Structure 1
Amino acid sequence: MNMKAAFIMIFVMMAPMLDTTMTNIGVNTILKDLNSTVNSIQWVTSAYVLALGLAVPLAGWLVDQFSGKRLMALAQLAFLIGSLASGVAMNVPTLLIGRIIQGAAAGIIIPLATTLMIRMAQGQNLGQLMSVVGLPIVFAPILGPTVGGALIKFWSWHWLFYINIPLVVIALVLVECYLPKFMPQQSTQKPFDWIGFILIVGGFAGLIVAVTNFSQNDIFGKLSVLAPGLVGLDCLLGYVVYAVNWPQQALLPIKLFKNAHFAASTVLLSMSGLMVNGAMFALPLFLQNIRHLSVIMTGVYLIALGAGMLVTRTQVGKITDTYGAKWVVVISLIMAVVTTLPFAYFTKSTPNWLILTMLFLMGLSRSGVTIPIMSDSYTGLAPVLIPEATVTTRMAQNIGGSIATAILAAVIASYEGNNIATATMLSAAYYHTFIWIAVGTAVAVIPALFLSVKTREVTTC
């Protein structure tokens, strides 16, 4: 594999990855500055992640039609425009427009970089490759909260988005000067599946809107909840029927799910959104509203989480290549449950060392979930299916994350109420939030049992 090209693509992923964690650290500040609510401001995170997930299919199609180098440059420009729009925003709607543009661009940048690196690796040592691909995921939790906290402390939350500008400019220069062209592998151009794309967009957007509207009144039977929810379910069912009857046109082929490892990996990546995106949304709010930490100290605390991920990342890839993903993921999920539950009971008086220790241990478990699942999703797949597999897994991970964020925001909002929340209300809100995260993580053990196991041959003299 061309390591220079690999590290260039790692760099171009840094801005989108950092943007997510930096924004999470600033959610509480943005909420207060724009006189918003948890339910409304969660769209700052959800809109980005949802747009990212929904743009991934477009990336999967584009990579088979045009030069990978040209696509990367155009996506970087779009991310730059979205960052500028978010930075100048003075109200929630304008901020959401910028975040959607950013998310859509990131939805092309991240899977495109992954697909191109997998092509360079030619299917060898995928566990170690996923460790390299995941470097931005490691450094984002370490650098993002700290840098974001400092930007808010010394300037304003607007700089959470302005900081992307120099990163994107450098990335553009590297792409133009050093990245190979990566011409498409398909000999014939395949039309984009707009029918499938619209059904997928309608399905997941409808479900998230339904969850958000439900949390505003806690009334399931209202039209504002039922209408988008039913539209979402109908669209998803419609896509399944469509993909079964027109498999050659379908954006995400159903045949991918005939591979048991891929099917289990996709389900797990979707569920991991609760542990990864959901937790990163809830933890900064918990540290600021329950522990009363400043935004910069919140970022410092979250370094422990990123440090835990960094410690296990390299070894997890090697272990997965040797023994398979099944038991690595199962053990990591159990550890994730054990390290999440204490946060439901932590209070303002809980010792700092205990919180930092749990954050570090939580980070150890997160590397043992994402890397093995991502590598196992490619096990046994034909090379021609890799772009479509990348599209599906990335969509599952990011859409799962956006749904998880909406659900946790709904849980927090339902216990905080519409008035000024008391200390008791806040404690109840975050107690139930972390219980939801722990339960969702525990349920993920079931599909993890269907991941691969590699047996080592024993030779005798």
Structure 2
Amino acid sequence: MSTQKSTQNIIQIALFLVVGAIAPLLDTTMTNVALDTIMKSLGVSVNAVQWVTTSYVLALGIAVPVAGWASNWFDGKHLYLGALVVFLIGSVLSGWASTLPLLVIGRIVQGAAAGVIIPLITTLVVQVAGSGGLGKLMAVVGMPAVLIPVLGPTIGGYLIQALDWHWIFFINIPLVLIALVLLTWKMPAFPAPKRGKRLDFPSLALLAGLFTFAIIGITRFSTGDGLTSTKVLTPVIVALTCLVVYVLYAYYRPTKALVSLQLFKSPTFDASVIILMLSGIAVNGAMFLLPLYLQNSRGLSAVWSGTYLIAQGVGLLVSRSQIGKLTDSIGARWVVLGSIAIAVIGTVPFVYFTATTNVWWILIALFVRGIGQGGLTIPVMADSYTGVPKPLIAEATTATRMLQNIGGAMGTAVLATIIQHEAPHVGMNAAYQTAFMWSVGFIVATAIPAWFLSHRKN
């Protein structure tokens, strides 16, 4: 009886933690649907509005290593509640924003908080449950990540139509307040183990500088500045300098650097990291692209564009149930290569779709694309640990999560740049077709590192 009660308590705690994650997960998918409305409301360009997504994902990616450090040195309950409060502040700032700079600041605050909340859920669930019965608990914890991409765009579309775009951020307020009350009341303390690396500020600053200045260089190029102009070259040179300095720092200070260079001695880890970056560009970039395409090129409302995107979420659900079994059976290589082929089949049609293309072709393409998307992340994340020494597993987790999010931020910036460049010359629909062509190119490029993933012969 006591064992059953203990199991029920653990599941209850896991459910409360999931309630805290609903707002950050929902926020990401709803914001993509709102981008066109925000762009018109604030009177900004596609290239400018992409910072609403890019700043969030970039802040989330940079916050991931901070979360890994903080979970070792601070009480887990206080850390989780504190991150939720910060996310609440970011939501209020974003909701009140009447200018793009203020909205981007709010999104940075939200992203930094989400970068702590999302990885911390897994850490705390493992702490409370130990090594037993994790399969069922991870199914509970993973459910919002599966369902919210299906429901989020539609919920966001209804909020925009019934109220306005500010409410996709204000809706977070009651969700976070409910989570804070439940977690304060029911969540146990998670004493800090006081072990692991201390937060290394030089590493964090260099990695943040590398990705931030690289994205600034890309976006400045999109405004019409040439590749050789000072406005583009300066941030690119700063980004390259950060990269070189970090490599030297990690080489001479291996015990302090956030991401050890030893990780890159594993071929499967190298392949996984490259795929996660490229798939982040292709998958997250296209998630930024699709709602804008459906609203600008197809003339759909925010509600209908969100409804169309349910097809992609259903495809993701279908693949998710089988991807893990296939990866365990035949290894990651063939699953990822097959998923690349499916993702290409689901994305290529968008290069040729016009404003009059039958709706069913669009829904079928989105469904197929969702199936391929599921196979581009799950097996790669699992395979990234193959050949990695046990003492470096925590750092491998930090590196893969961070690089996946950074790839997503870069993908948004790259595809927004392409639209901004092409639209004045060839028209909006043709500009979106070109952007989808680039997205296909990034997906195809992942086939090269995918060949170096693990595989098994039955």
Q: TM-score band (shorter)?
A: over 0.9
Q: Is 2:266 the counterpart of 1:259? A: yes
SS at match of 2:376: helix
1:85 to 79, 93, 96: 93
Over 3 Å counting, the alpha-carbon distance change for 1:145 and 1:317 in structure 2 is: same
Question: Which residue in 2 is equivalent to 1:332?
Answer: 339
Which one-letter code corresponds to 1:291 in the other structure? R
- Within the candidate set 234, 238, 251, 2:245 is matched to 238
Tell me the TM-score normalized by structure 2: 0.93
Partner residue of 1:453?
455
Match of 2:62 among 54, 76, 91: 54
Question: Is the 1:46–1:405 contact (alpha carbons within 8 Å) kept by the matching residues of 2?
Answer: yes
Rounded to whole Å, the distance in 2 between the matches of 1:67 and 1:94 is 32
Per-residue CA distance 1:66-102 (angstroms, 9 max, x = gap): 1222211111110000000000000101111100100
Question: 1:206 is matched with which residue?
Answer: 213
Q: Is the alpha carbon distance of 1:455 and 1:5 closer, same or farther for their aligned partners in structure 2, counting shifts above 3 Å?
A: farther
Q: Matched residues in 2 for 1:455 and 1:162: separation? A: 52
1:386 Cα deviation after fit: 3.5
C-alpha spacing 1:130/1:290, structure 2 compared with 1 (3 Å): farther
Residue identity over aligned pairs, in percent, reads 50
Distance in 1, Cα, partners of 2:238 & 2:54: 19
8 Å CA contact 1:148–1:160 kept in 2: the answer is yes
Aligned to 1:165: 173
Q: Secondary structure of 2:83's partner?
A: helix
Structure 2 CA distance for partners of 1:325 and 1:305, relative to 1, 3 Å: same
2:36 alignment partner in structure 1: 28
Relative distance call for 1:441 and 1:61 in structure 2 (3 A) is: same
Match among 305, 313, 325 for residue 312 of structure 2: 305
- The SS at the match of 2:203 is helix
> Is the CA contact 1:69–1:180 (under 8 Å) kept in the aligned structure 2?
yes
For 1:322 and 1:186, locate their aligned partners in 2 and report how far apart those are by CA, in whole Å: 38
Equivalent position amino acid for 1:305 in 2? Q
CA shift for structure 1 position 213: 0.2
1:316 and 2:323 are equivalent in the alignment: yes
CA distance in 2, matches of 1:221, 1:133: 48
Give 1:369's aligned residue.
Answer: 376
Write the mapping of 1:14-163 to structure 2, written as runs, cut at 5 A: 14-117=22-125, 134-163=142-171
Q: Partners of 1:327 and 1:236 in 2: how far apart?
A: 32
Equivalent residue number for residue 3 of structure 2: none
Q: 1:373 to 1:179 in 2, by over 3 A?
A: farther
Identify if the C-alpha distance between structure 1 residues 193 and 263 changes in structure 2 by more than 3 Å, giving closer, same or farther: same
Q: Deviation of residue 277 (structure 1)?
A: 1.0
**1:459 corresponding residue in structure 2:** none
**1:131 and 1:317 in contact (8 A); partners too:** no
In the alignment, the residues of structure 2 paired with residue 429 and residue 221 of structure 1 have an alpha-carbon distance, to the nearest angstrom, of: 24
Partners of 2:104 and 2:366 in 1: how far apart?
30
Q: d(CA) in 2 for partners of 1:68 and 1:430?
A: 44
Task: Report if the CA contact (8 A) 2:222-2:420 is conserved.
Answer: yes
Q: Which whole-Å CA distance do the structure 1 matches of 2:239 and 2:132 have between them?
A: 39
Q: Is the 8 A contact 2:269 2:385 kept in 1?
A: yes
Which residue of structure 1 aligns with residue 427 of structure 2? 425
The answer to whether residue 417 in structure 2 is matched with residue 415 in structure 1 is no
Cα gap change, 1:131 to 1:331, in 2 (>3 Å):
farther
TM-score by length of 1: 0.92
Q: Which amino acid aligns with 1:416?
A: A
- In the alignment, what sits opposite 1:250? 257
Residues 137 and 218 of structure 1: CA distance in aligned 2, closer, same or farther (over 3 Å): farther
Distance in 2, matches of 1:158 and 1:279, equals 23
CA distance in 1, matches of 2:354, 2:382: 38
Instruction: Tell me the SS of whatever aligns to 1:348.
Output: coil
Q: Distance in 1 between matches of 2:129 and 2:395?
A: 17
Report whether the alignment pairs 1:181 with 2:181.
no
Q: Do the aligned partners of 1:134 and 1:371 also contact (CA within 8 Å) in 2?
A: no
How far apart in 1 are the matches of 2:132 and 2:448?
Answer: 28
In the TM superposition, residue 378 of structure 1 has moved relative to its aligned partner by 3.0
Cα RMSD (Å): 2.2
The question of 1:296 aligning with 2:298 is answered no
CA distance in structure 2 between the partners assigned to 1:115 and 1:447 by the alignment: 29
Q: 2:4 matched to which residue of 1?
A: none
Give the distance between the partners of 2:160 and 2:218, measured in 1 at CA: 30
Question: Could you tell me whether the CA contact under 8 Å between 2:14 and 2:137 is conserved in 1?
Answer: no
2:243, 2:134 → 1: CA distance? 31
1:5 Cα deviation from its structure 2 partner: 3.6
Give the letter aligned to residue 289 of structure 2: A
Query: Which whole-Å CA distance do the structure 1 matches of 2:162 and 2:59 have between them?
Result: 30
CA contact (8 A) 1:115 1:386 kept: no
Structure 2 spans left out of the alignment, 5+ residues: 1-6
Letter in 2 for 1:304: A
- What letter is aligned with 1:310? L
d(CA) in 2 for partners of 1:397 and 1:246? 25
User: Within the alignment, does 1:226 sit opposite 2:233 as a pair?
Assistant: yes
State the 1:175 CA deviation.
2.7
Deviation at 1:389, TM superposition (A): 2.1
CA distance in 2, matches of 1:95, 1:439: 32
- Please give the alpha-carbon distance, in whole angstroms, between the structure 2 residues aligned to 1:27 and 1:272: 22
Aligned residues of 2:11 and 2:137 also touching (Cα < 8 A) = no
